Amino acid sequence: MASKALPKDKIPQAVSILKKQYKVIGATPKGKNFVFKEIEDPNEVTLDYNTTILPLKKFFLPPREVIVEFNLQSKEYRGEDIKVEPKVFFGIHNYELQAVFRLDFAFKNGVSDETYLKKREKNVFIGVSYIPDDFHFSESVGIPTDLKEGFDIFLTRYDSHYRVEAMTEKGREIENAWEELLVPCDYEGDPVVHFKNKLKQSVAGIREIFHGAYNHPIWKETARKCYSCGTCNLVCPTCYCFDVSDEVILGTDKGVRARRWDSCQALVFTKVAGGDVFREKRYDRVRHRMSRKFAYIMDEKDRPFCVGCGRCVRQCTADINIVDVMNALL
Amino acid sequence: MSKPKVAFFDFTSCEGCQLSKLNLEDDLLDILELVDIVNFREAISDRGEDYEIAFIEGSLSTPHCIERIHKIRRQAKILVALGACAHIGGINAIRNKMDQDEVRETVYGKDKYLFPSIKAQAVSDVVKVDYYVPGCPMDNQEFKKVLSALLTGKIPEIPEYSVCVECKAKENECLYDYGIACMGPITRAGCGAACPSNGHYCYGCRGLVPDLNKNAAKDVMEKYKLSMSQIKKRFYMFNTNYVNMEEKEYE
């Protein structure tokens, strides 16, 4: 089947074309790692990366964000003034976008979170296929590498080029804008890729197993190794818990209400008014994180809130591996 | 409404935390609108003994310190410890690990008997401390937040989670990726991960997180092939007093 491809050496040009209409966000190297950032120089973007330190959530739910400004004297308050700019997320792995959809679910349901949802407007996603490293385990949580759901364009990686597949109207517009860069290519199916890191069984039955695992010894064994530093939550693409605080600026009546990423692994997270602590034991908190990923929300949505990006495993100084923990239960 | 009377007192320290108040140049006049400073050796010559809020800098390291801190505590309605020395003993506590007589001799020579000293202690080891502004040096922005909370009748809150939380939020590369032992995972946040963001490991100047996991430290040392002495050195910078407490379980 004839198809169109973007040669690897034309990527900076493809980014330059996008930059005419959009803010472009993509992965760039940072030391030994990668980060998503707004692309200034089209040459800095890379499509060949394992995972970034932080996921895309930082663009929709910033690490710290002022949500309300208030004045104690006049009793006036004003929400955040969000400027919606068209953005292209260029070179995004499929688990990353799946995670964004899960955040959407969390922020739309119940009381919808306009501060988040506004930032999700006018987003265009250009996907790219990837080769799983030792940490990825997306296939085990229902996200095989050829899943292209939700992308406007998907780029499948081959040796010298990326096969271009436009899937939406926006995607076709971009494909047309790239017209002069594209070359014909043969398409014989997506390359088969294997994951080294995997769960012993499919996600379908995980929920039931979880419900019987409340007193499993793995929670205490894992907690023995855990610092409760919170890294796993911060780098997780589907963790969205935040803490809200009010601050009055010294000597004025003005203040702000801000929210910042929080971690359910920190003891203080479970401290409530009156000083009570409802998950005082470290193993309670370890179990809570896993339950949030594989049980509680699955009950509602039938998809785990883990997308298998492997960030929490890669970045854990204490070497706690969510896959090993899960496999102990399965 | 009369303005609350505030006093600053220094104990064993470099006095940098107090001095940094004078660097709050843009805010000093605002602050003076809100409070009456009645005692502040580095800034004014008055020595008022009538105050409601006492800010304490420095650790307690002589019998005289103990006497003085009790007197201040009796007077102050609210006592706030400023900086690492007052909060956790800090750098002064390094000498707690040494032979105390030798220490005195090194410093005072044959006059050592004229200068009695005790192990350097955090203020809270001796009297009740209501609130803290941790760090070495303490952060003026945090000081302003604490002061603002006190003056608006709120409980000043400082972070109880680890430096990793702030470090990750800044998307820094983890220093452990480079085989560098960093105190971040077990140190109280609030500094915005200042050191790791500027290429240095965390020294732990803000003290340990409230629920330290000793076992995890052992595993991580093994993983990164770090020796006990390397880890201890990291602790000795600011947290000597807490190594003593934990030592049995570390070894």
Cβ atoms within 10 A of the Cβ of B100, count?
12
Which tokens hold the place of A184?
């014909």
Which residues of A fall within a CB distance of 8 Å from B165?
Answer: 229-231, 234, 261, 263, 266
What number is the average pLDDT over the span A18-24?
A: 96
Element (H, E) at B26: helix B25-34
What confidence category does residue B45 fall into, taking pLDDT thresholds of 50, 70 and 90? confident
Alpha-carbon span A203 to A326, nearest angstrom = 11
- Long-range contacts of range A297-300, CB-CB < 8 Å, 24 or more positions apart? A297/A102, A297/A106, A298/A203, A298/A206, A298/A207, A298/A210, A299/A207
Identify the CA nearest to B89 among candidates B212, B236, B232: B236
Nearest residue of B to residue A312 by CA position?
A: B168
Asked if omega into B137 is within 30° of 0 (cis), the reply is yes
**Triad B44, B131, B86: Cα angle to 5°:** 65
pLDDT of residue B248: 40
pLDDT of residue B245: 52
Calpha distance A267→A262 (Å, rounded): 11
Please tell me whether residue B121 adopts helix, strand or coil conformation: strand
Identify whether the C-beta of residue A205 lies closer than 8 Å to the C-beta of residue A71.
no
Can you give the pLDDT at residue B251?
A: 31
The confidence band for A105, taking pLDDT boundaries of 50, 70 and 90, is very high
Please list, in sequence order, all residues whose beta carbon lies within 8 angstroms of the beta carbon of residue B230, skipping any fewer than 6 positions away: B181, B221
Residue B164, pLDDT score: 94
The secondary structure of chain A, three-state, reads CEEEEEEHHHHHHHHHHHHCCCEEEEEEEECCEEEEEECCCHHHCECCCCCECCCCHHHHCCCEEEEEEEECCCCEEEECCCCCCCEEEEEECHHHHHHHHHHHHHHHCCCCCHHHHHHCCCEEEEEECCCCCCCCCHHHHCCCCCCCCCCCEEEEECCCEEEEEECCHHHHHHHHHCHHHCEEEECCCCCCCCCCCCCCCCHHHHHHHHHCCCCCCHHHHHHHHCCCCCHHHHHCCCCCCEEEEEEECCCCCEEEEEEEECCCCCHHHHECCCCCECCCCHHHHHHHHHHHHHHHHHHHHCCCCCCCCCHHHHCCCCCCCHHHHHHHHC
The answer to whether the Cα torsion of A39, A43, A47, A49 is positive or negative is negative
A227/B31 CB distance under 8 A: no
Check whether B192 has a pLDDT greater than 90: yes
- Chain A neighbors of B148, CB-CB under 8 A: 247-251
For residue A88, the cross-strand partners are: A24, A124
The rounded distance, in Å, linking the Cα atoms of A257 and A78 is 10
A244-296 pLDDT, tens digit per residue, is: 998 888 888 899 999 999 999 999 999 998 889 999 999 999 999 999 988 87
In this predicted structure, the answer to whether residue A188 has a pLDDT above a threshold of 80 is no
**Per-residue pLDDT tens for B67-119?**
999 999 999 999 999 999 999 999 999 999 889 899 999 999 999 999 899 99
pLDDT grade for A178, boundaries at 50, 70 and 90: very high
pLDDT at A190: 79
A86 contacts: CB under 8 Å, gap ≥ 6? A21, A22, A23, A122, A124
Minimum distance, in Å, between the CA of residue A190 and any CA atom of chain B: 33
pTM of the model: 0.91
Q: List strands edge to edge, sheet with B53-57.
A: B36-40, B5-10, B53-57, B78-82, B131-133
Q: What is the dihedral of CA B131, B165, A254, B31, to 10 degrees?
A: 40
Tell me B151's DSSP state. H
CA distance B196 to chain A (A): 14
Closest to A105 in 3D by CA, of A273, A315, A307? A307
Residues contacting residue A150 through CB under 8 Å, at least 6 positions apart? A97, A98, A101, A125
Measured CA distances, B140 to B9, B136, B148, B166, B189 (Å): 17, 11, 12, 18, 15
Give the best residue of A38, A228, A264 to mutate against chain B (max B CB count within 10 A).
A228
Distance CA A160, CA A8 (A): 6
- Among chain A residues, CA nearest to B212: A227
**Residue A149 pLDDT > 80, yes or no?**
yes
Size of interface A-B (CB pairs under 8 A): 123
Look over chain A and give the mean of its residue pLDDT values, rounded to a whole number. Answer: 92
Rounded CA-CA distance A203/B113 in Å is 73
pLDDT at A298 over 70: no
Q: Are B55 and B87 in contact (CB under 8 A)?
A: no
Sign of CA dihedral B138, B141, B142, B146: positive
**B180, B211, B220: best to mutate for the A interface, most A CBs within 10 A:** B211
Q: Which of A220, A229, A245 to mutate to test the interface with B (most CBs of B within 10 A)?
A: A229
Q: Among residues of chain A, what percentage have pLDDT more than 90?
A: 76
- Matching residue, tokens 């501060």: A115
Higher pLDDT, A192 or B189: B189
Give tens-digit pLDDT for A220-244. 999 999 989 999 999 999 999 999 9
Considering only alpha carbons, which residue of chain A is nearest residue B183?
Answer: A229
CB contact set of B211 (below 8 Å; sequence gap of 6+): A228, A267, A282
Q: What is the pLDDT of residue B250?
A: 36
- Name the token pair of B167: 């470090």
**CA-to-CA separations, B70 to A299, B120, B125, B149, in angstroms, rounded:** 57, 16, 12, 25
* Residues in chain A closer than 8 A to B154 (CB atoms): 248
- Rounded distance, CA B53 to CA B72, Å? 10
**Residue B157 in this model has a pLDDT that exceeds 80:** yes
For residue B220, what pLDDT band results from cuts at 50, 70 and 90? confident
- Mean pLDDT score of chain B: 89
